[in-house]
Chains A and B, each alone.
With several copies, the nearest count.
Chain A
Amino acid sequence: MQSAVSVKDLKIAYGDHTVIEKMSIDIAPREFLVLLGPSGCGKSTLLNAIAGLQDITSGEVWISGKNVSWEEPKDRGIGMVFQSYALYPRMSVRKNLSFGLRVAGLPKDEIEARVARTAALLHLDKLLDRRPAELSGGQRQRVAIGRALVREVDVFLFDEPLSNLDAKLRNELRVEIKKLHQRLGNTMIYVTHDQVEALTLADRIAIMRDGVIQQLSSPAEIYRRPANLFVAGFIGAPAMNFVEGRIERGDGPLVFRSKGLTIDLSDYSFRAAVAEGPATLGFRPEHLVLDGAESGLPTILGRVSVVEPMGSDAVVWFDWADQSLSLRLMGDVTLEPGDAVAPGLDIAKASLFGADGSRL
């Protein structure tokens, strides 16, 4: 199948400073790809290169089977939504939506029809005559999306479209974007550094670091089997717990040993044969079971330092050895700071990383 968007051996540098390093990605039609990574890793740069807003140093960009590396942005068949909304401040919503179409010289009724359709889709009908300054953050973001939609193109690019909104709105609009994607079936490339957005929206997530893709997989795969320490630490809130230690071959099966803790690794599915050596054990807060002893799992003895109730669940932080670990509990929690806990760890769900940081 032809890719909707593909990037081939793309390299982007500012002078000596390489921002994107020989990158290749293929994005299928109708796919929702999320680019996730810390600030400054090159997400926007990559997105801008696809849009044609950024000069590339070498490599190619293809959209809908056409090499568009030298095309103008407007000719690439893309729509784009920006973090700051980038609405034209002195134009009404209607004008914001129609400006590009008018410049392109579309017939009047065609423009009106498209604007009306887009406005209806995004519930902007009643706002058409307002100026951006008279809109709330969420409404502005919807207009920004509308401006991309009205172009009726196959590929949408989003650059952190929700990060200027408050938590509540962010949650609401996230669902709307997801519904929109399901309804329209366009290809979407979505940049964010919020892992919740990535997990909930993406068909596939590309996790980037310093211009290099660390892992490109489905959200579930990334959450469950992170390719390396960086990915493991980046995804999940609160972050995955890491314990440093060594893999040793005791009497029989492999074990992981650290600060008095010994965990049998028989249930862990290694990618390849593994030798003894330093390793890091990673496990997510919800992979600790509060009543470790009863469940027959290896237990980690600690003392509660902080309890964070969040309504439906709670995160409990406890001190173990010289570090602080977290565990997630459902429902109401009666633990208090100072209480002793002995949660059990299900090693089958945990992750082990070798000395070079990649998953074992």
Chain B
Amino acid sequence: MADPHPNGPKPVQITAGRIGLYTFLVVAALFFLLPLYTMVVTSLKSMDEIRLGEIFALPARLDFSAWMTAWSGACMGTVCVGIRSGFWNSVAITLPSVALSVFIGAVNGYALSLWRPRGANLLFGLLMAGGLIPYQIFLYPMVRAMANIDLYNSLAGIILVHVIFGLPLVTLLFRNYFVSVPEELCKAARVDGAGFWRIFFEIMLPIAVPMVVVVSMLQFTGIWNDFLLGLVFAGRDNLPMTVQLNNIVNTTMGERTYNVNMAATILTAIVPLAIYFLSGRWFVRGIAAGAVKG
């Protein structure tokens, strides 16, 4: 700026850096959106058009029939009711699983970080090791155990399984969060006469709300998207949406209708997606509130 006498606010300049920054963001956004775009576009095409193999091309004509089929017409075996039949199963599995695992995880994190009873470190170590084991290995013995306690092929059973497998992650996150809560808060409540549970429910849980949001969202996504555990443990009356999705998508020798597949996928993902779109702000806030620390 050649102004000989600067006065007032510095004039805003559009710098090369700014342009580069936006370019980077836009390119990144395209990269992230491309798969979703492709899915949506494909779901709106007819199979004839899809066979042409131009996956990025816009559909010649908007055709929502694949969506209808996916939702209420696609066959699984001899039953042709679409994936909607699994929707409520998914809800019935996911909500209690999330609520329970978040609750147990919160209690664990609270007890491990603020009370540190004997063996706390060992327990935490075991949980972390458990979190690293590929869970396919658990299937076989778990099935046996669940059958023994009569929970195999039941809603309660699949919920229990999700809670067990979610425990390591959920505990880790809550423990990290509660470690940053001042110990004095706990002490003050103890002077006030509150015990372990009272402190948890009346003081710690309300503080941990941002964390509960984060963990709930992570767990929700994980459990909603789960296929294998639902397939093995839920029983045929409780199969989640992902199993129906798999039935539509994953045929070996039958013909494939990609438009229906894509529509079914988007429909299956719509609940977690909606949650991220609507409460992404809370998610970020929760993380900022100390959800993930070293």
Are A and B subunits of one complex? yes
B182 close to A84 (CB less than 8 A) = yes
Min CB distance, B219 to chain A, in Å?
23
Since A74-B192, A84-B184, A90-B206 are in contact, a sample of 19 more A-B pairs with Cβ atoms closer than 8 Å, ordered by chain A residue number, is: A48-B187, A56-B9, A58-B8, A58-B9, A59-B8, A60-B7, A68-B6, A70-B3, A70-B6, A70-B11, A72-B193, A73-B187, A74-B190, A80-B187, A80-B191, A86-B184, A89-B206, A89-B207, A104-B193
The answer to whether A51 has its CB under 8 Å from any CB of chain B is yes
Compute how far the CA of A82 lies from the CA of B182 in the bound complex, rounded to whole angstroms: 11
The answer to whether A100 has its CB under 8 Å from any CB of chain B is yes
B194 close to A103 (CB less than 8 A) = yes
Q: Render A79-98 as a binary contact track against B, CB cut-off 8 A, 1 for contact.
A: 11011101111110000000
User: What are the 5 closest A-B residue pairs judged by CB atoms, nearest first?
Assistant: A100-B192, A74-B193, A90-B206, A86-B184, A70-B6
A70/B10 contact (C-beta < 8 A), A84-B182, A89-B207, A103-B194 known = yes
Residues of A near B10 (CB, < 8 A) are 55, 69-70
Task: List 7 A-B pairs, Cβ < 8 Å.
Answer: A67-B6, A69-B10, A74-B190, A80-B188, A86-B188, A88-B189, A100-B193
The answer to whether B185 has its CB under 8 Å from any CB of chain A is yes
A78/B191 contact (C-beta < 8 A), A55-B9, A58-B7 known = yes
Compute how far the CA of A83 lies from the CA of B185 in the bound complex, rounded to whole angstroms: 11
The answer to whether A147 has its CB under 8 Å from any CB of chain B is yes
Residues of B near A68 (CB, < 8 A) are 6
A69 close to B189 (CB less than 8 A) = no
Residues of B near A67 (CB, < 8 A) are 5-6
Compute how far the CA of A159 lies from the CA of B179 in the bound complex, rounded to whole angstroms: 21
A69/B7 contact (C-beta < 8 A), A99-B189, A99-B192 known = yes
A69 close to B6 (CB less than 8 A) = yes
Closest A residue to B182 by beta carbon equals A84
A100 close to B191 (CB less than 8 A) = yes
The answer to whether B198 has its CB under 8 Å from any CB of chain A is yes
The answer to whether A182 has its CB under 8 Å from any CB of chain B is no
Closest B residue to A74 by beta carbon equals B193
Residues of A near B206 (CB, < 8 A) are 89-91
The answer to whether A57 has its CB under 8 Å from any CB of chain B is yes
Min CB distance, A212 to chain B, in Å?
20
The answer to whether A274 has its CB under 8 Å from any CB of chain B is no
Compute how far the CA of A51 lies from the CA of B3 in the bound complex, rounded to whole angstroms: 20
Closest B residue to A82 by beta carbon equals B184
Specify the main secondary structure of chain A where it touches its partner: loop
Closest B residue to A79 by beta carbon equals B191
A57 close to B192 (CB less than 8 A) = no
**Residues of B in contact with A, size category:** 20 to 34
Q: Render A195-236 as a binary contact track against B, CB cut-off 8 A, 1 for contact.
A: 000000000000000000000000000000000000000000
Closest A residue to B209 by beta carbon equals A90
Residues of A near B188 (CB, < 8 A) are 80, 82, 86-88, 147
A88 close to B184 (CB less than 8 A) = no
B9 close to A57 (CB less than 8 A) = yes
Residues of B near A100 (CB, < 8 A) are 191-194
Residues of B near A53 (CB, < 8 A) are 187, 190-191
Residues of A near B11 (CB, < 8 A) are 70
Compute how far the CA of A89 lies from the CA of B184 in the bound complex, rounded to whole angstroms: 12
Q: Render B167-193 as a binary contact track against A, CB cut-off 8 A, 1 for contact.
A: 000000000000000101101111111
Contacts from A to B (Cβ < 8 Å):
48, 51-53, 55-60, 67-70, 72-74, 78-80, 82-84, 86-91, 99-100, 103-104, 147, 151
Min CB distance, A354 to chain B, in Å?
37
Residues of A near B6 (CB, < 8 A) are 60, 67-70
Closest A residue to B198 by beta carbon equals A103
B187 close to A82 (CB less than 8 A) = yes
Residues 80-100 (chain B) with a chain A CB within 8 angstroms: none
The answer to whether B203 has its CB under 8 Å from any CB of chain A is yes
Compute how far the CA of A71 lies from the CA of B192 in the bound complex, rounded to whole angstroms: 14
The answer to whether B1 has its CB under 8 Å from any CB of chain A is yes
Residues of B near A69 (CB, < 8 A) are 6-8, 10
Closest A residue to B10 by beta carbon equals A70
B190 close to A99 (CB less than 8 A) = no
The answer to whether B150 has its CB under 8 Å from any CB of chain A is no
Closest B residue to A78 by beta carbon equals B191
Min CB distance, B111 to chain A, in Å?
17
Residues of B near A80 (CB, < 8 A) are 187-188, 191
Compute how far the CA of A69 lies from the CA of B11 in the bound complex, rounded to whole angstroms: 11
Residues of A near B202 (CB, < 8 A) are 88, 91, 99
B185 close to A103 (CB less than 8 A) = no
Compute how far the CA of A48 lies from the CA of B9 in the bound complex, rounded to whole angstroms: 14
Compute how far the CA of A82 lies from the CA of B193 in the bound complex, rounded to whole angstroms: 16
Residues of B near A78 (CB, < 8 A) are 191
A86 close to B185 (CB less than 8 A) = yes
Min CB distance, B119 to chain A, in Å?
17
Min CB distance, B274 to chain A, in Å?
28
A88 close to B203 (CB less than 8 A) = yes
Residues of B near A72 (CB, < 8 A) are 190, 193
Closest A residue to B9 by beta carbon equals A55
